[in-house]
Amino acid sequence: MTFFKLLKRSCLLFLFAGFAWSQSAFGQSYGDDRAGTEGFQFAKISVDARSAAMGNSNMADAIDGSSLYWNPANASVLESSNVMINHTEYVADINLDYLSYIHKLGAFAIGGSVQYLNSGEIRETTEFEPLGTGRTFSTHHISAGLTGSHQITEFFSYGITLRYLTEKYIDVSYQTGAIDFGFLYYVGDTGLRFGVSLNNFGFEAPAQGTVSYETLDGTVEQTPESELSLPTRFNIAAAYNIIENESHELLVTAQITNPSDNSEQVNIGAEYGFMGQFFVRGGYEFGNEERVWPSFGAGIEVPFTGKRLRADYGYTVYERLGGIHRIGLSVAL
C-alpha cells in the first residue's frame, strides 16, 4: 500500500471516528446542557466577511486566507500565495481583527494567522460602587496559528495547524495550545467537494494571576481555581458549483457544525458571481436562536499591480445583539 493511499484511508477513518466522537461527546441534548460552559469564546466568532455573509456554511470553499481558520487543508489548493486582513465591528464596541499569510510551495502551503479581539474600555463597578469607580479596564484575546498543508492530488488535500490561545482579564490570564486538522476532497470534475475539520482541539488552560476585590473585611486577593476548556468544534461541509462559465457562477454551500459547548448547527449559503469580478452572497444558520434573519454581503475582485485584489463585506443580524459589520481585503500574490 502506498503512502498516499494509507493517508487517504487514515483521513477517512478520522472522518468517521470524529463524527462518532462528536455524536457521543457532544450530542444535542448534552450540547444544550453545556451551552456557554467553555472558555475562549472569541475563537468561535467568524473571522472573515465572505464566510459570515454565507451563513458560515462555506468551510469546503474557503479557498483563501480564511482557510487557516476554517480548514487548513484548503490552503494548499490556492493557486498562489495569499494575504488576508479582516475587521469585525462586534457588539458593544468590541472589535475583532484577523490577519493571515499563506505561502505556496508547489503542492505544499505554509501559513500563519492571528485572530485578536479587544473588548474596548469597560467601566469598572463594584459591590460598594455599583455606579462605577471611575476606573476602566479591557480584556484581550489572541489566537495565533502556524499551518502546514499538502495537496496530494488534484482531488485530495490535508492540513494541520498548531495553535496558541491566550485570554487576559485585568490581572488574570489563561494560556493553552491546540491543533486544527482537516482534509478536502473534490469529487472528480463534478464541481462538488467535501471538507472535514476539527478545530481547537487541545488542553485546558489554568488561571495565572490573582483577583483583588473589596469586602466588608477589607481587600481580598484570590486566585481563580477553575480551568478554561476550549470550544472544540467538528465540521462537515459541502460546496457545489451549479453554474460555472465565463459570465456567471452560482455556488451553493452547506455545513454541519458540532460544537463542544452547544447543539449542532446546520448552515446553508450561496454566492452568485458575475464576470468573475462582482459577487453577492447570502446564508442562514439553523439551530442558532439568535439568528432570525439571513446574513448577506457582497464582494468585488479586480486586478491590481499584477495581483488580484478582492474586497468583501458581510452583515449579520442577531435578534438581541443587533447587526454586525465585517469588511475584508484579500490579495492573491
Which tens digits make up the pLDDT trace of 220-240? 787 787 889 999 999 999 999
This prediction has a pTM of 0.87
Check pLDDT > 50 for residue 134.
Answer: yes
Which tens digits make up the pLDDT trace of 273-290? 999 999 999 999 998 888
Which tens digits make up the pLDDT trace of 50-73? 999 999 999 999 999 999 999 999
If you ran DSSP here, which 8-state letter would residue 197 be given? E
Angstrom distance (rounded) from CA 262 to CA 287 = 10
Please report how many Cα atoms fall inside a 13 Å half-sphere around the Cα of residue 52, on the Cβ side: 27
| Domains of the chain as residue ranges with CATH | 3-129+137-332 (2.40.160.60)
Please report how many Cα atoms fall inside a 13 Å half-sphere around the Cα of residue 257, on the Cβ side: 27
**pLDDT at residue number 222:** 79
Check pLDDT > 50 for residue 78.
Answer: yes
**pLDDT at residue number 23:** 47
Cell triple for residue 154?
488534484
Helix (DSSP H) and strand (DSSP E) numbers for the chain: 4, 19
Cβ neighbours of residue 213 under 8 Å, at least 6 residues apart?
A: 126, 127, 219, 220, 222
Cβ neighbours of residue 239 under 8 Å, at least 6 residues apart?
A: 58, 60, 61, 192, 193, 195, 251, 252, 253, 254
Mean pLDDT over 26-50 rounds to 74
Cell 448552515: give the residue: 267
Which tens digits make up the pLDDT trace of 323-332? 999 999 999 9
